[in-house]
Structure 1
Amino acid sequence: MAGERRWFAPLGSPLLVWSLLAALTFLRLLVAAWSPVSADEAYYWTWSHALAPGYLDHPPMTALWIAAGTFLCGDTALGIRLLAPLAATLGTLLLAGACRDLLATPAAVAIRAAILLNATLLLGVGAVTMTPDTPLLFFWTAALAAFGRVIATGRGAWWLAAGVAIGLAMDSKYTALLTAAGLPLWLLLTAAGRRWLFTPWPWLAAALALLLFAPVLEWNAAHAWASFIRQGGRTGDWHPARAVRYLAELVGGQAGLATPIIFVLLVCGIGRLARRAAGPGETLLVAVTLPAALVFVQHAFGDRVQANWPGLLYPACAIAAAPIARRWGRAGAMLGFALTGLVYLQSVAAPLPLPRPLDVTLMRLAGWPALAARAAAIAGPGVPLVADEYGLASELAFAGTGHAVLAAEPRWRLFTLPHPALGSVRMLLVRSTKRKDAPDPLLFSDVGRLATLDRGRPGRLAERYTLYRVTLRPGLPANLGTELALLPVPSRR
């Protein structure tokens, strides 16, 4: 206990801990309000104006969170992201409770787990942006907290809370299935788990999770399993010759998102539990982490693992790392918060002259409203804007230039957005110069190149776009007409 108090001593009293958490939440709300909206966030914003039980890319939870935030704050950056800082705060408390219950640790160690997770770039950036990982991380942390209560109290009713949390996590992102799949292993292979199998509680929890996930299943069934095929299609590749490169990228990506010191602590923490796991909480953490980690490693033998995918494992790993983070935990937290602070500063004010490939905020955030305004000015009064890339089209719509914005891609067939029959209409097509193909001749005729626009910051180019004057072909067949969607008009408050 003395060692735990020394590590925790700089935080002082519990009142100071609460004050620091409140200050961190306030800072995150400011960054969420002041940072430009990324193309992915603008795309998810269009989902919130076409609410459905599923989408081509992900389940619907992100759209529901954005709809709630924009209901309160309007179609603004803060509205889109409002629930992210709040979820990070509540998730911090849930993680500390999960650590306390799963490992039977003192409060200082439980708070240490929460500090480690908050110091990662994964949570630091995720707390000021809105992507499917944001609700996923929150609901999976809530599930771990519920399982902690199951183990600490022996009360079966906590299984119901766990089932609800898992169902909502699956409604956030399909990768929740990977961690949830470890629970049957824990129930079958451990004595603590097998005791629960002879009660109704795990079965009721599973039924609740499936009930909450059922609308996603129904939507997929009604749309030829489009979302499952899109996500599941990534698992079939097998290219062992590329494994070294992809595995290196996997490790490097996690070291970057977790920050280097914390990444080592997370790996060592879960590895230590895997070697010595004895208690029910320890075995549960191993069961929901290692099988999923092996899936990501297997995937790296065939294709690239996106850095954010394994982020779902971080809460359990932070709990596992907390007891061993006495010496290096403080240094890791300081480094992690410092790096997160730099990301916050760069996203809001961009004071650092980083090389273009390293400045993620430049590539993802910079210059969208100015691009939309300049394109609208060139289009002229009443001329619709159109884009055949979903993120670009969503940014043009979110900018709110007063021009109608249409998106032209097959994915829009699956949205409950207006698919207008416009006939022969002149439009301004905005396309990235990275696109080497010509505008779709089945959709557009009379294509004339007008100008080139840059997006970025003063003196810093993020991306270049070509503007085309095009005419929408009249009498489009139904299958092509539904590829053209009228995007929502933002409501500012």
Structure 2
Amino acid sequence: MRDKDEAQPIRRLFWVLWAAVLLLKLGVVAQLPLFVDEAFYWQEGRHPAAAYSDLPGLTAWLARLGVELGGDHTWALRAPFLAMSALVPWLLARITAREFGERQGWVAGCFGVLLPLSGSLGLLALPDAMMALATLLCLDAGARLLREVDARAAVELAVGLALGALSHYRFIAVIAVGGVVLLCLPEGRRALRDVRVVIAAAIGASAWAPLVAWNMDNADAGLRFQLVDRHPWSFHAEGLWFVAIQALLVTPPLLIALTLAGARGARAASPITRYFALFGSLIVLGFFVLGFFADTERVSFHWPLPGFMALLPLLPGVLAGWPRWARRLTAATAGVALLAILAYYLVVSVPGLRARSAGEKWYPSNFAGWGELADAVRQRQRSMPPGTRIVADNFKVGAELGFALGDPRIAVLDHPINHKHGRAPQLRLWGLQSAGRAEWGAAPVLLVVGATEVEYKNLLRRYHQLCAMVGPLPPPQMLNVDHGRQRFALFALDGAKREGDCTTPAMAWVDAPLPGRKVGREFDVSGWAFKDGVGLARVEIMLDGRVVAQASYGRELPGVRSYWEVSNDPQHPRVGFDAKVRLDAEPPGRHWLGLRLHGRDGSVEDWAEQPIEVRR
């Protein structure tokens, strides 16, 4: 009774935090633009299957359930994932309360809400919410089994293993570590010999059958991507960033507390305490070691979350020995970090705020520009013949346009990022990988190209690959989002056979002034620009979207041609430009410098802008 009385204040705090964070997340979910992976999971959900090239089936099924119940809205797509994430801190509190006392349970639950990695679950329709829930179910079942094997614990284990198997390949780490920890404990070895646990494990293993079958039917394409193709499997020092990144995301005080919880718990007399400590510590340390050999190009900061959740039940015991100011600091820093993550997503949701970040490294390109692109495509469709087919040049554009236009069957050209993200095999299975003009015949096509999805040094080569697939490109409609940080090209192909050299969108570079530099009321602009196939007629200098100077175009720059080896602009090497800009009414401060490129074929293309600072 005394424990319950002492737990009442922290219990009320838990539900206040839980409700407040959930309300904040509901607001963010309703406004946040669709992330590219979410769009592809929506597309997978519109092509029902037991498994897919990148994931097991559960993520796609939940995405389909959300839009079936709520319509084709981003909030509806995310609703099942948000609901699952809301269960995570509550289940964490119940597990901890049963093992260590009710007050400790509500403390662990509060930190389950505040831990940024778990508190932000459900904002996006991604598999992590299901993985977190599956991990806690398995963790809870394991703790029960250490005490006594019964049907309830076995069923919970089977459900957790099945949910995890249907969520992601990465859940294999939870299974492997959980099995090793149980084998290390005498009580765990006893439990593993029980037939009910064996049956539960068999049920969990059977949930991998759809993924195994998919890989057997497709030359292990998914398995090779997840375990071989995406990882260098050679040592690289970037793994050291793991500690700094986790300290930032978990927050330093909380990371220290969880580390102490794992170290102390591993030496505890209680087998259940050792179970939590070893389970959590081995997962976190395992991903730390993996970071020295695995993929560094894609986001992986969330991988250790199952380990941190296993350590949270031990956290109240560590915090109880800290002074009050340290406990409050730990909770406050975690809360501030969670609010910072939610604020980041709010910034992403507001076009004006997002545009201000166009010159920053953290610019959220995977969230940006899709609504503007869909509007431009709809408008362009109205000016093209009825029945015009939309074709995207990569899976991101195809999936995002598909969601916006309600069409999960938008064809996609072969593209390096389709392979980089493991989506090419799935597109081929759906019959959505297009070979280009040879397949389209004389039908009109609106080709939508993501110009910023390729590194700039490879962009011209990509344009020439497009020419090989569809022929010389007509003058593009360029769409610059957020000052051109996100950039698309729309090509209206009328079906007529085009002959001649490869004609591409223009390429350009501003050598001076450099981005972010301070300039006076008068300053010089220089650089180069060219347009393969036809060449450029003139170049104009723009500031904040208006023309402020005419450039002198045609200065010899032989180095440009030698760098862009495939370029066929007939004006090489005379592709340099120079201009003097004289400002009048522009106020001091940040402005955006851009170019307007006039092609000899009549095309007009606005180049991406870069920030400059105008002095008083």
1:429 and 2:443 aligned: no
Distance 2:256 2:5 in 1: 23
The correspondence for 1:324, drawn from 318, 322, 338, is 318
Compute the displacement of 1:167 (Å).
Answer: 2.0
Distance 2:359 2:272 in 1: 42
The correspondence for 1:398, drawn from 377, 383, 403, is 403
Q: CA contact under 8 A between 1:160 and 1:204: conserved in structure 2?
A: no
The correspondence for 2:413, drawn from 387, 408, 413, is 408
Number of residue pairs the alignment of both structures matches: 462
Distance 1:451 1:370 in 2: 13
- 2:291 alignment partner in structure 1: 300
Distance 1:234 1:325 in 2: 43
Compute the displacement of 1:71 (Å).
Answer: 1.3
Distance 1:401 1:173 in 2: 27
- Counterpart of 2:486 in 1: which secondary structure? strand
CA RMSD of aligned residues (A): 3.2
Compute the displacement of 1:280 (Å).
Answer: 2.3
Q: CA contact under 8 A between 1:97 and 1:148: conserved in structure 2?
A: no
- Counterpart of 1:429 in 2: which secondary structure? strand
- 2:394 alignment partner in structure 1: 389
Q: CA contact under 8 A between 2:111 and 2:312: conserved in structure 1?
A: yes
1:224 and 2:229 aligned: no
Q: CA contact under 8 A between 2:444 and 2:493: conserved in structure 1?
A: yes
1:124 and 2:119 aligned: yes
Distance 1:43 1:197, change over 3 A: closer
The correspondence for 1:173, drawn from 168, 174, 180, is 168
Compute the displacement of 1:26 (Å).
Answer: 3.3
Distance 1:375 1:256, change over 3 A: farther
- 1:267 alignment partner in structure 2: 259
The correspondence for 2:270, drawn from 279, 284, 295, is 279
TM-score, length-scaled by structure 2: 0.68
Compute the displacement of 1:5 (Å).
Answer: 8.8
1:289 and 2:280 aligned: yes
1:157 and 2:149 aligned: no
Output one character per residue of 1:109-162: Cα deviation in whole Å (capped at 9) or x when no partner: 222222223223322332211112221112212222333333456524312211
Q: CA contact under 8 A between 1:259 and 1:335: conserved in structure 2?
A: no
- 2:228 alignment partner in structure 1: 233
Distance 1:412 1:156 in 2: 39
Distance 1:280 1:35 in 2: 44
Which stretch of the first structure deviates more once superposed, 381-390 or 187-196? 381-390
2:123 aligned partner, one-letter code: V
Which stretch of the first structure deviates more once superposed, 33-42 or 422-431? 422-431
Matches within 5 A, 1:78-117: 78-101=75-98, 104-117=99-112
Q: CA contact under 8 A between 1:387 and 1:407: conserved in structure 2?
A: yes
The structure in which a higher percent of residues are helix is 1
1:369 and 2:350 aligned: no
Compute the displacement of 1:432 (Å).
Answer: 2.7
Q: CA contact under 8 A between 1:273 and 1:320: conserved in structure 2?
A: yes
2:412 aligned partner, one-letter code: A
Distance 1:277 1:235, change over 3 A: farther
Q: CA contact under 8 A between 1:85 and 1:128: conserved in structure 2?
A: yes
Q: CA contact under 8 A between 1:176 and 1:312: conserved in structure 2?
A: no
Distance 2:472 2:230 in 1: 42
- Counterpart of 2:478 in 1: which secondary structure? strand
Q: Which runs of 5+ in 2 are unaligned?
A: 321-325, 415-423, 498-616
The correspondence for 2:250, drawn from 255, 258, 279, is 258
The correspondence for 2:46, drawn from 31, 46, 49, is 49
Compute the displacement of 1:164 (Å).
Answer: 1.9
Could you tell me the percent identity over the aligned residues?
23
1:450 aligned partner, one-letter code: P
1:318 aligned partner, one-letter code: L
Q: CA contact under 8 A between 1:454 and 1:461: conserved in structure 2?
A: yes
Q: CA contact under 8 A between 2:21 and 2:113: conserved in structure 1?
A: no
Distance 1:63 1:53 in 2: 10
1:163 aligned partner, one-letter code: A
Q: CA contact under 8 A between 2:25 and 2:123: conserved in structure 1?
A: yes
1:66 aligned partner, one-letter code: A
Distance 1:427 1:337, change over 3 A: same
1:384 aligned partner, one-letter code: R
Distance 2:122 2:260 in 1: 25
Distance 2:43 2:167 in 1: 16
Q: CA contact under 8 A between 1:81 and 1:129: conserved in structure 2?
A: yes
Q: Which runs of 5+ in 1 are unaligned?
A: 475-493
Compute the displacement of 1:361 (Å).
Answer: 7.0
The correspondence for 2:471, drawn from 445, 459, 462, is 445
1:464 and 2:455 aligned: no
